[in-house]
Structures are given as C-alpha cells and as structure tokens.
Structure 1
Amino acid sequence: MKSPAPYVLLLATLLLTVSAQAQNRPILQPVPRVPLQQVPLQLPSALQLRLQTLPSFGAPPPFKALDSATSNRFLNGNTIWLTAPGLEASRQARLQNFSANLARLQPLASQPRIQAVLNAAKLQGLQEPLLQVQTKSGPLTIKLLSADVGASIAARELGQDAEANARVAVTRMAQDMDIDPAVVGQVAQAVPAQRLNTALQLQPSLARMLATRPILQLLPPAGSGNGLDAVPNSCAPASGNLFARADFPMKKNLPAVKNQGGRGTCWAFATISVAETLIRTQYGRRVDLSEQDYVAYSKLKYGSPTDGDGGDPFTWLGLNAQNGYRFAYEKVWEYNQSLSRSATETPPNSGKYNYQNSCGGYPHQDQCEDSVSQAETGCIVTAGKTVCGAQIPTERTSYGIDSSSLKNMWDWNQKDGGLGWSVLALGFGTPVMLLHDARYLQGDTNGFVGDLPYNRATHPVKQADGSTKWEPNTEKDVQWWNHIAMLVGYVSNQRLQEVMPGAPAGPGGGYFIMKNSWGTCWSDGGYIYLSWDWMKKYAGGLYLGTRITN
C-alpha cells in the first residue's frame, strides 16, 4: 500500500485535534518523530466526510500554506483554529446584531442619548471615525469606536430596565463595601462642596486611605518589553500640575501611560491598565502585560481577522473571563502601533476591512501580519480543502480575569449618584473604566477640562449635492461611547487649592483624574482632569468590579 503524503497526515492530525477540543476530549499527542511516510493513515468515517465538505478560505486575510516544519509548530503551539464558515458567521452576526440593536433602540429615539446612537449609525455605519489630537510631539490621529459598538452598549445599558438595573448596581456596591445601602442617596443629594466629606463620613478607613503618603520608587515591571507601546515617551506630568502634586490611593500602583497609536484599541488598553493596576494592588507585583495579545485573542475568538479595530469592551471582558483567558507579558508579544497602516472597508458598510502596511517599522516581523489581530496565520491545504489557524504566544502569565462583579454605576436618571459612588471607589483604590465622548477631551494647558458646551465639537452632515458640511453638535449628537479609558483618582476643589493654589475650580465640585492611552506627550503626561459637570454631560458609563485571578 502506498504511504500517504505528509500533508495529508498533518491535516488529519489537525482535524482530530480540533475535533477533540470541540468535544472536550484529550487532545492527541504530536505525531511521533519518525518519517511521516511510514505512519499508516487511518481516518474515521466522520472525519473522511469532514475532509470532503470543508470549504476553502479565499482572501483576504492573506493566509499562507504552511510547510511541514511550520505545520508542526502550529499543531503544537497556542493556535486558535479558524474555519471559513465560522469567520463568515462572525461577520454576519456583527451585521445582524447591529440591525437588531438599532431596532431595539428605535422606540426610545425621543431620548437625546438614543438619538445620538441612531444618528451616528446612520452617518457612520460600521466605519470607525478618526480624531486628530495635538500632543507635545505633534498631531496624533486616533481611531474611535464605531457606531455598532455604541449600539451594542446602548441596547444593553439604556433599555427599559436601565434605571432599575442601575439602582441594583449601586445597592450591591454598597453591600460590597459594607456600607448601609440606605446612605446611597446621601452622596447623590449632597451639595458639591460636601460630596467628598459625605463620602468620608460613610467609612472612617477611607479617610486614612486618602491621607498624604510618599509615592514609592518602583522597579521596572515584570515582563517589560522595549517600550514600543509607549513611544514617544519623552514627556511626563509637569512638576507643578495636578498629577505630580496630588496624592491619591491608586497613584503608587499605576502602570505607565501607553500609546495605542494608529489603532482603535482603546478598549484593550483600558482593560490591560485596569488589570496591571489590580495585580499590583491584589498581589503586590508590578507587571507589564501585552495589549497585542489581548487584541488578537479577542478578535480571533469573537470576531474575524478582517474585523475593524473596535469591539464592545465589557462583553468581551466577560467572554474572556468565561474562556479562562490568561494574560501574556509585553515582552512576549510587544504592541505594534501600526502608524503606517491603512484600513479599507471593502465593500462599504460590510464591516470587512482590508489592511495594508500593518507591520511597517515593527521590529518583530515574524509576529505580524496584515489583519486586525496581526497574529501569524497559516493553512494546511490538500486537494482544495483548507484548515487555517492563527498563533498567539504559548507563554502566558498565571493572571486571568474575573468579571462576575463587573457593574456599570452610571445611572442616566441620577448622574450625581453614579459619580458619587465612583469617588468612593477611587478612594478605595479601585479603578473605574470611563466610557465617554473623546471629542470633548479638550483641556487647558495644565490638562483641566471644565464644563464644555456641546458645540465645542462638530459632526458631518451630508448635503443634497453629495457634499459634507460640518455642523456644531447639540446634546443629541454626543457620542458617549466612542472611547474608553481609566479613572484613577478624584480631587475635590478644596483639596485642589491645597495642593495647587490658583488652579481653576472644577465646575460641580472637583476633578476626576483620567489615565489615557494616547502617550505621555498628550495633555499632562498622558493624564487629563475632567470636572464633575463635564462628566455629567459626556460620560456614558462607569464600570468597576473587575477582579484578577491567579
């Protein structure tokens, strides 16, 4: 009997591996180290049928046929297996979910915040808007989250039961903090000058946590790469500005400010920043985790290599927790800013992107391809039948995610309440992920952002002749969901004058300190200070309760 071709054996082993994983059975051991042509081929009837019916992939993304050595690496590595029907199903599901979410929101269209989502969906579709911001190292073009992300979040958070859900969330948080839920309203109802004092009275230990303390000198974090996610890194918070002068519980545990570059990956940077902070808080260890790995894993598991950059950060956080995701270190897979990359949606409004020049200037070319995940992909091909996979690093940390306590504290009908509880959380050293409209991150030279009017940002309007006119925003044009970053502290106006005399008072009572992912040359070393009243107008979510497992 003629021995089978080596690629047939590799394909059979790969399919058996995928089948075993799908059925939660032990995965087959690697092919023995003997000449492949001496190993007899034995295919079960079900596997023979699968070989006959598996469709091919086509392009893009640029999957490549693998040689024997690379095939073995894919078989024995940390590979996420992909099928053409699965990828197409993911893309179609995105389109279907977008339509379903818009239909769910339509009955609520009279509300300005719902109008904003519907207007953006009509104007943008699945396109990801660009925002140019000024930094000390020159202009930086930021990619914002697309309208389908906003529709997903709005449909979940702004439905008919949103008000009741928010009340449940704040009550549960009170219980988690061992505070009587009956005092929740005290934070919301207190006048601005009394908010922080009211919070301090609720928990005596909180006052001790907010006391002035020296900031520790910290060693480089474990797993640090070469700083590709932080360049340019020539700027730092000014010595006379708020971040340098104020002390707050989370300050000594904060990771470095990073730079998402030309990719719309704010959701990954916010999640990783929270995780790095919590690992320092919970386990006393500074780490530098890989945003590149988190993006690739999320996109490959729940999306497609041709997806856009964005995604619903909180849905994916929960899915990653359920799937037992473990972070990788930055040094294992360094972030690629892709400053020369272009993304063309082909065809328009399809949610399917063709990427070019993703890897320009990236020193690790063997870890980079032209797809949204940028993971190395490859296929084993035989007789027109294809199985493809994408590789992510095998080396993982022991740290994972627990999202079971994740809560959104933003109550649209009682905004002061959500902000008050965020002050408490920050006072306990708990990070808060802020969903907001990044177009209004317009601070003064020291990074302070007051109560900006809606017309400080504009939106495009198509004219009858096909041209585009930019018109000033109103409340219904605010996009509360196009960017996400981490809140790290709160400083009342009273405390502000103590540490920075003459600084402008924050409208509403003080400033929230936000750590962004646009590099250290943006605003004050990468931090910006958002007034209480600014938050009431341009915040769209206050998420806290993420935990780290080890």
Structure 2
Amino acid sequence: MKRSRLPLLTLGCLLVSVQLQSAQAQGNLTPKANQLNVNVSQIVLPQNFKLKLQTIPNFGAAPIFKTLDAAASGRFLGGNTIWLTQQGIEANRVARVQNFSANVAKLQPLANQPRIQAVLSASRLEGLSEPILQVSTKSGPLDIRLMGADVGASIAASELGQDAGQNAQQVMTNVAQHLNIDTAYVQQVARAEPQQRLNVAMKLSPDIAKVINGRNIGQLLAPAGTGSGLDAVPANCPPANTGLFTSYDFPMKKHLPAVKNQGARGTCWAFATVGVAETLIKMSYNRRVDLSEEDYVAYSKLRYGAPTDPDGADPFALLGLNAQNAYRFAFENVWEYNQSRSRVATETPANSGKFNYSNSCLNYPHQNQCEDTVSQAETGCIVADGKTVCGAQIPSDRTPYGINTSYLRNVWDWNQKDGGLGWAVFALGFGTPVMLLHDARYLQADARGFVGDLPYNVVNHPVKQANGSVNWVPNTANDVNWWNHIAMLVGYISNQQLQTVVPGAPAGAGGGYFIMKNSWGSCWADGGYIYLSWDWMKKYAGGLYLGERITNN
C-alpha cells in the first residue's frame, strides 16, 4: 500500500521543562485557573521516578496552513481528506475548553468524594497541561506524557448517575454469547455477593480457559499490515525466561499483539484502543493484524479537535464518536507511528489549551509523512476563485475492521470495588481484554514486574500556600489521579496459581495479580508487562472498560 506524501512543516516553539530529581530540586511552575507563578521546592520523589511539569511561555504562533500547488491540490481533492475551516477549528478548540469548565462545574457538588476532589484539585493547579512522568527502563530513562485533568473531568462527568453493577451482568452475558460460552457462567457470578465474586469467578475460570484455549488459534505469523516496528523501538527486551508472562499460559496470551511504545506523546488512549481491537480481531476472525495508532490519533483529533490540541483525550467518548462515524482502522504499514522523541509542545497563550509543536518529525524516517500538529497529518489549503478551503489528509487505504460500542461499559464500581474487580477477573477468564484507567505514577514494580500494595505516600503532589509558594507533600487517598493513563488488562492469576507457575514469587496483596500490557516499550518492567496486585487495583484503578466489539465490513 502506498503512503500519503506528507511534507514537513516546522514551527517555531519553545517548551521549558523543570526536571524534578529523586532527591530535592527547584524550579518554576505556571499553574492554571488564573493562579500566579509559584516556586517549587522541597521536592522528594521515589527512587527512579521523576516528574517534569511544564512552564508555559506566553508567545508563539498557531500552525499556518500552507497553500498547495496544483499537484498537491489534485491529491487532496482525490484523496481521503478531512476538510477543515478556521472557524470550525477554533470552535472545536473553544468547545474543548468550555466542556472542561462545564465538567468541573458538574463535579463541584460531589467535591467531598475523594476521586472528584482529586480531579478538581488537579484542574485548579494544572488546567489543560499534561505532566510528564519519567520512568526507568532497561534501555534508559523514558519520559511518558500523562493525560491531563480535563480527561479525568470528562470521564467523571460522563459517569454521573451510572450504576456499574447494573451494567456488568448484561455486558458479560453479551461477551459469553459472542464467544459461544454458556451464559449460565454469568448467572453464577452475578448471584455471588460482590466480595465473593472473585472466588466464584476463579472456580469457573479453569473451565472457561479450556474453552478459549481449545479454539483454533492459528499460527503465530507476522501480522497483516505490519510496519517497520517504529512503534516498538527498542524491542530487544523480552520477558524474563522464568517470569510470570513466560511461564503462565493464560487464555488471552496467544491472541495478544506485540508490546508497543507510545514514545514522547500522550497517546496511551490510542494504543489501548488499537491493542484491544487487534486482540479482538485475532479472537473473532482468527487473523493477526497490525493496526495504525498514528491514523487513529489523526482521525480522532482532526474530526473532533483542532491541530493545536494537546495529546490527551477521553478514549471512551472517542470510541463512541468514531463508531458513529463508521471509522475503519488503517494498517500500520500505511502510516507508521512516530514516537516524536524530540518534540516540544508549547501552550500559547498560557492557560488556553492551545498548543504549538516543534521538532515532531526529528529522526522520523518518513519525513514527507509528518507535520508539527497534534495529528501530524499533512495540512494544506486550496485557493480557487478567491476562496480558500483547508484540509488534512489521512491514508485512503483502510481495513474492513471498525468499532461497535453497543455494549461498551465500565464495570468498575466505586462503592463495591471487589465486585467490579470480580467482573474483571471473569472477563479475563473469558479471554476478553479490559481497558484499565489508573494512576500511572504508582506503576512501581520490583525487578520481576510485581507491584504490591503501595502506600499512597510514595508519590508527592504540590500544594499552593497562602504566600503563593508551593510545597510538595506526600499523597493521601484524596490525591490519586486515577485518570492519567490507560492500558490493557490481559489476564489474572491467583496467589495459589502463582506459586505453581513461578515458585517463590511474592504473593499479591488481596489474593493475586492482574496482568497489564502497557504501551511503554518492551524494555519496561517484564518485557512491557506488569503485574498489579488486587489491593493495588482497589486503590489506584479508576475504570474497567469492556464490551467493545469489532465489525468486519
């Protein structure tokens, strides 16, 4: 398949970062919500974990759409172009800021709830900015852009009044029917008390695993549409030979795509969505595919956002919108992902939610397929009869695979956390991927990838003082940013099973471990996988989404 030719457009921007060391450091932070500049001091973070918060200078220019020549104009007119207007772009940008304010207002009456309190606090201090978390990997430090408080506010506001418990049984009944599994399993789990749901699910899961593993899973061939591996570099760190992932044959294992790497962009939402889609395509149609995260980001940002958007997005709102618009995935080899390791993002003007980008395309091998906008798609304007029409071009080559969100639900229950986790165990036993919304700052594992019941105070947060300064103090339960990262849960193992598979492994606090497949490359944790204890999930999870379907038209 041929790639769309996307010329390079470089914009002048600046980002100043404050590197917060694991001991003490000083810097400046420009908070949001009309707060004044403050000094950052007395910063203490866990070993090997550092946080960079952006200072946003108040200058810069918005991306300028270039005028296309005759050849490029013909390509735009004949290609898969999303047409844009300056008015529409500005309207989308303004709507995003207004929605943020409206969501915060909706949450204010519930400010006494810890998770809502955390969103409101981050909204006041950070606004639309996106903090960067630095983590250690076998190939060196990795900067991860986290999703901002606007995403948390969007998700929390959308879930007001919803009862996860009422939705879960219908979702799981649908999953069972889709996999041709007796729905009596669902009834048995549904009748169990929330605290006992895990025990019922674990008793049933061996039978479910036999059904899943007994299916024809095909050969482990290279996936259709695979690219050059730019979304997985470096990929030289396989899971440990005697580790949990290597030793444990859980139901979904043989259907999973390779671990990928989102790089310096806050696109975890796209990697989680595409990873689930690739897994479901393998399970439903027995075909391994490598889908394009770059295309999913570009389509989503161009359709519902603006070129000056930040990276983050509400993944569940986008799933619904893209399903309504009959989106079809593209293959990775049509548009390969760009990690943008040297990219700089600058919010201009400050507190506007409007970002300029520079150096997005540095070291990207497809220089003619990259621009300095959040979507990185080629943009241009056609002038005809004195009228100017602008657009952005994405690949015309599409797969037949789309999204069906009819049964997509969040089964996480803030009032019955054990019950929600029990449903997740049940789903994973069926071989159904679960998207986990959580606080990535607490993904702190031992050398083998196991994460225990971490205390809240291993992470610090800034508190503004009356004199305008900021003190960094240890987190409490009210300071968990449960919305800042999303990844796939792909399996569960009880402590009893764990000792037969990996003798001597640390027992998981609360009963066992959830297996999470991340998008931070294979050199992070155990080949890109990490194992989250039951009690960790109860403290740092913020959503368990499942029930997504893949269409094949």
User: TM-score if structure 1 supplies the norm length?
Assistant: 0.85
Q: How does 1:169-208 map to 2 (within 5 A)?
A: 169-176=167-174, 177=176, 178-179=183-184, 181=187, 183-186=189-192, 188-190=194-196, 195-196=198-199, 198-201=200-203, 205-208=207-210
Q: Could you tell me which amino acid in structure 1 is paired with residue 251 of structure 2?
A: P
C-alpha distance in structure 2 between counterparts of 1:141 and 1:207, whole Å: 37
C-alpha distance in structure 1 between counterparts of 2:547 and 2:492, whole Å: 18
Q: Greater shift after overlay, 209-218 or 318-327?
A: 209-218
Q: Could you tell me which amino acid in structure 2 is paired with residue 337 of structure 1?
A: Q
1:103: which partner in 2? 105
Of 160, 165, 168 in structure 2, the residue corresponding to residue 167 of structure 1 is 165
Contact 1:212 1:247 in 2 (8 A): no
C-alpha distance in structure 1 between counterparts of 2:465 and 2:346, whole Å: 24
Unaligned runs of 5+ in 1: 1-57
Question: Any idea what SS the aligned residue of 2:306 has?
Answer: coil
1:5: which partner in 2? none
Of 327, 343, 360 in structure 2, the residue corresponding to residue 325 of structure 1 is 327
Of 537, 540, 544 in structure 2, the residue corresponding to residue 538 of structure 1 is 540
- Per the TM alignment, residue 308 of structure 1 is displaced from its structure 2 partner at its CA by 0.2
Superimposed CA distance per residue, residues 397-446 of structure 1 (whole angstroms, 9 cap, x where no aligned partner): 11111111101000100011111111111111100000000000000000
2:34: which partner in 1? none
Kindly indicate whether residue 339 of structure 2 is the aligned counterpart of residue 337 of structure 1.
yes
Question: Any idea what SS the aligned residue of 2:334 has?
Answer: coil
Of 264, 270, 279 in structure 2, the residue corresponding to residue 277 of structure 1 is 279
Superimposed CA distance per residue, residues 236-274 of structure 1 (whole angstroms, 9 cap, x where no aligned partner): 100111000001110000000000000000000000000
C-alpha distance in structure 2 between counterparts of 1:237 and 1:204, whole Å: 24
Contact 1:174 1:184 in 2 (8 A): no
C-alpha distance in structure 2 between counterparts of 1:170 and 1:120, whole Å: 30
Q: Could you tell me which amino acid in structure 2 is paired with residue 237 of structure 1?
A: P
C-alpha distance in structure 2 between counterparts of 1:394 and 1:413, whole Å: 46
Contact 1:200 1:206 in 2 (8 A): no
Q: Could you tell me which amino acid in structure 1 is paired with residue 327 of structure 2?
A: Y
2:514: which partner in 1? 512
- Per the TM alignment, residue 465 of structure 1 is displaced from its structure 2 partner at its CA by 5.0
C-alpha distance in structure 2 between counterparts of 1:345 and 1:115, whole Å: 25
Q: Could you tell me which amino acid in structure 1 is paired with residue 421 of structure 2?
A: L
Contact 1:209 1:427 in 2 (8 A): no
C-alpha distance in structure 2 between counterparts of 1:113 and 1:358, whole Å: 34
Superimposed CA distance per residue, residues 180-213 of structure 1 (whole angstroms, 9 cap, x where no aligned partner): 647425262328xxx34x2255578415247799
Q: Give the 3 Å change call, closer, same or farther, for CA 109–325 of structure 1 in structure 2.
A: same
Contact 1:210 1:248 in 2 (8 A): no
Q: Give the 3 Å change call, closer, same or farther, for CA 334–152 of structure 1 in structure 2.
A: same
Q: Give the 3 Å change call, closer, same or farther, for CA 75–134 of structure 1 in structure 2.
A: same
- Per the TM alignment, residue 458 of structure 1 is displaced from its structure 2 partner at its CA by 1.1
Of 255, 259, 262 in structure 2, the residue corresponding to residue 260 of structure 1 is 262
- Per the TM alignment, residue 135 of structure 1 is displaced from its structure 2 partner at its CA by 0.3
Q: Could you tell me which amino acid in structure 1 is paired with residue 169 of structure 2?
A: T
2:222: which partner in 1? 220
Question: Any idea what SS the aligned residue of 1:367 has?
Answer: coil
Unaligned runs of 5+ in 2: 1-59, 177-182
Of 77, 80, 83 in structure 1, the residue corresponding to residue 82 of structure 2 is 80
C-alpha distance in structure 2 between counterparts of 1:73 and 1:473, whole Å: 53
Q: How does 1:399-478 map to 2 (within 5 A)?
A: 399-478=401-480
Q: Greater shift after overlay, 317-326 or 205-214?
A: 205-214
Of 491, 494, 498 in structure 2, the residue corresponding to residue 492 of structure 1 is 494
- Per the TM alignment, residue 359 of structure 1 is displaced from its structure 2 partner at its CA by 0.3
User: TM-score if structure 2 supplies the norm length?
Assistant: 0.85
Question: Any idea what SS the aligned residue of 1:264 has?
Answer: coil
2:245: which partner in 1? 243
Q: Could you tell me which amino acid in structure 2 is paired with residue 168 of structure 1?
A: Q
Which structure has the greater CA radius of gyration?
Answer: 1
C-alpha distance in structure 1 between counterparts of 2:226 and 2:212, whole Å: 30
Contact 1:215 1:251 in 2 (8 A): no
C-alpha distance in structure 2 between counterparts of 1:384 and 1:467, whole Å: 54
Q: Give the 3 Å change call, closer, same or farther, for CA 489–214 of structure 1 in structure 2.
A: farther
Kindly indicate whether residue 355 of structure 2 is the aligned counterpart of residue 349 of structure 1.
no
Kindly indicate whether residue 394 of structure 2 is the aligned counterpart of residue 396 of structure 1.
no
Question: Any idea what SS the aligned residue of 1:154 has?
Answer: helix
Between 1 and 2, higher relative CO (CA 8 Å, sep ≥ 6) is seen in 2
- The structure in which a higher percent of residues are helix is 1
Q: Give the 3 Å change call, closer, same or farther, for CA 84–320 of structure 1 in structure 2.
A: same
C-alpha distance in structure 1 between counterparts of 2:118 and 2:519, whole Å: 25
Question: Any idea what SS the aligned residue of 2:368 has?
Answer: helix
Q: Could you tell me which amino acid in structure 2 is paired with residue 516 of structure 1?
A: N
Contact 2:201 2:426 in 1 (8 A): yes
Superimposed CA distance per residue, residues 110-154 of structure 1 (whole angstroms, 9 cap, x where no aligned partner): 111110000010110000111000000000000000111100001
- Per the TM alignment, residue 63 of structure 1 is displaced from its structure 2 partner at its CA by 1.1
Kindly indicate whether residue 527 of structure 2 is the aligned counterpart of residue 521 of structure 1.
no
1:64: which partner in 2? 66
- Per the TM alignment, residue 394 of structure 1 is displaced from its structure 2 partner at its CA by 0.6
- Per the TM alignment, residue 167 of structure 1 is displaced from its structure 2 partner at its CA by 2.1
Alignment length (residue pairs):
485
Question: Any idea what SS the aligned residue of 2:154 has?
Answer: helix
Question: Any idea what SS the aligned residue of 1:541 has?
Answer: strand
Contact 1:213 1:247 in 2 (8 A): no
Contact 2:189 2:201 in 1 (8 A): no
Contact 1:174 1:181 in 2 (8 A): no
Question: Any idea what SS the aligned residue of 1:548 has?
Answer: strand
Of 147, 150, 162 in structure 2, the residue corresponding to residue 148 of structure 1 is 150
